[in-house]
Amino acid sequence: MGAFIESLNFFETVCFVIAAASTAIIIVQTILEFVGADVEGDFDTQGFHLITTRGVVAFFMVGGWIGLAASRAGINEFLSVIFAIVCGGAALFAIAKLMQIMMRLQSDGSLNVNNALGQTGTVYIRIPGAEKGIGKVNVTVQERLCEFDAVTEGEETIKTGELICVTAVRPNNVLVVERIVEQEVVDGE
């Protein structure tokens, strides 16, 4: 390794130091991320953030290694710098785009009870008619089977096991439901 470093001219030494330091930072960031540390800060889930810590470090890492490789391949320093900046910029853009795509995969998992509107379910505990009491219903909301308190505005009590449709959501996540009347199938029709 010592012979390699001694064989570098000033430009190659600068590229090597930048590339090696940036690579070390990327490695440390990755290790810290695996153990749960927040090394990047908060992301806007839909935004495109070009200038981030990880992106800037990737710019210097790729730019440094490309500048070193181009110079070692005999390309003059000016073209090596241009090539390093272009490749570093591509890395910066790629990291930003990758982070944007990954953040779109994120989901908060919160249940929005308003998504129960129009959904059907079954009565778990009978619901007294005319809003004289609260029963319980099972309704699938956001691909989850959930149990909610429920009332009905209809005059008749809705019995356990009957099908219901959610018509409104009241404060404290109380659902307003109505009975679904199943049509009887008549033979021959």
Per-residue pLDDT tens digits of the chain, which is 189 residues long: 788 888 889 999 999 999 999 999 999 988 888 887 766 654 444 556 778 888 899 999 999 999 999 999 999 999 999 999 999 999 999 988 888 887 777 766 788 999 999 999 999 999 999 999 999 999 999 889 999 999 999 999 999 999 999 999 999 999 999 999 875 445 544
Question: Token pair for residue 9?
Answer: 């001219």
For the chain, the domains span 2-104, 113-179
Determine the distance from the C-alpha atom of residue 137 to the mean position of all C-alpha atoms in its chain, rounded to a whole number.
31
Return the exposure string of 130-149: e unless at least 16 CB atoms fall within 10 Å of the residue's CB, then b.
eeeeebebebebeeeebebe
Residues 6+ apart with CB under 8 A from 112: 141, 142
**Are the beta carbons of 156 and 129 closer than 8 angstroms?**
yes
List the CATH code of the domain at 113-179: 2.40.50.140
Residue 137: per-residue pLDDT: 96
Could you read off the pLDDT of 58-111 as tens digits, one per residue? 999 999 999 999 999 999 999 999 999 999 999 999 988 888 887 777 766 788
Residue 66: per-residue pLDDT: 96
Residues 6+ apart with CB under 8 A from 120: 139, 163, 164, 165, 166, 180
